[in-house]
Amino acid sequence: MAVRAYSPVLPSIELFGAYEGIASATGVNQTVSLTFTPTSEGNLVVVPYDGDDNISQMQLEVGPTPSSYIPTTTAAATRAAETLTVPAANMPWPTPVAIGSELGSQVIADWTAVASTLTDNGNGTWNLTDSDGGIGYINDQLTGLTVGNVYQVTSTVTNNTTSGNLTLQVGTSVGSNQIAYTYITADTNGTLTFQFVATATSHFFGFRSSTFTAGDGFDFTPISVREIDPLAVSIQMDGLETFADEGNATQETLFDWRVDANNRITLNLDTDSTKVGTLTLTMVNGSGTDETISTTAELTPGVNDPFNVAIVCTSNEIGIALDGTAETRVSHSIGLPDLSAEDATMGGNGTRAQLRAWAVDLTNAGQESATS
Per-residue pLDDT band for 18 (boundaries 50, 70, 90) equals very low
Q: What is the reported pLDDT for 50?
A: 55
Q: Would you say 147 and 201 are in contact if contact means Cβ atoms under 8 Å apart?
A: yes
Q: What is the reported pLDDT for 294?
A: 67
Q: What is the reported pLDDT for 86?
A: 94
Residue 344: strand, helix, or coil: strand
Average pLDDT, the chain: 84
Q: Would you say 234 and 362 are in contact if contact means Cβ atoms under 8 Å apart?
A: yes
Residue-wise pLDDT for 165-175, tens only, equals 899 999 998 88
Per-residue pLDDT band for 272 (boundaries 50, 70, 90) equals confident
Residue 325: strand, helix, or coil: strand
First to last CA, the chain: 31
What domains are there in the chain, each with its CATH number? 2-61 (no CATH), 84-95+231-370 (2.60.120.200), 108-228 (2.60.120.260)
Beta bridge partners of 22: 14
Q: Of the candidates 23, 26, 30, 88, which has an alpha carbon nearest to the alpha carbon of residue 57?
A: 30
The answer to whether residue 51 scores a pLDDT higher than 70 is no
Q: Would you say 196 and 288 are in contact if contact means Cβ atoms under 8 Å apart?
A: yes
* Report for 38-47, 125-134, 362-371: range of highest mean pLDDT: 362-371
User: In angstroms, rounded to a whole number, what is the distance separating the alpha carbons of residues 146 and 201?
Assistant: 6
Please tell me the least confidently modeled range out of 54-58, 82-86, 333-337. 54-58
User: In angstroms, rounded to a whole number, what is the distance separating the alpha carbons of residues 335 and 88?
Assistant: 20
Residue-wise pLDDT for 202-243, tens only, equals 999 999 887 778 888 999 999 999 999 999 999 999 999 888
Q: Of the candidates 265, 321, 271, 268, which has an alpha carbon nearest to the alpha carbon of residue 293?
A: 265
The percentage of the chain sitting over the pLDDT mark of 70, rounded to a whole number, equals 81
Query: Rounded to the nearest 5 degrees, what angle is found at the Cα of 139, between the Cα atoms of 135 and 140?
Result: 170
Query: Rounded to the nearest 5 degrees, what angle is found at the Cα of 201, between the Cα atoms of 314 and 225?
Result: 65
Query: Rounded to the nearest 5 degrees, what angle is found at the Cα of 195, between the Cα atoms of 104 and 173?
Result: 60
Per-residue pLDDT band for 28 (boundaries 50, 70, 90) equals low
Residue-wise pLDDT for 288-328, tens only, equals 443 456 678 788 888 888 999 999 999 999 999 999 999 99
User: In angstroms, rounded to a whole number, what is the distance separating the alpha carbons of residues 215 and 217?
Assistant: 6
The answer to whether residue 49 scores a pLDDT higher than 80 is no
Q: What is the reported pLDDT for 9?
A: 43
Per-residue pLDDT band for 341 (boundaries 50, 70, 90) equals very high
Residue 289: what residue type?
T
Q: How far is CA 130 from the centre of its chain?
A: 39
Per-residue pLDDT band for 122 (boundaries 50, 70, 90) equals very high
**Span 7-11, average pLDDT:** 43
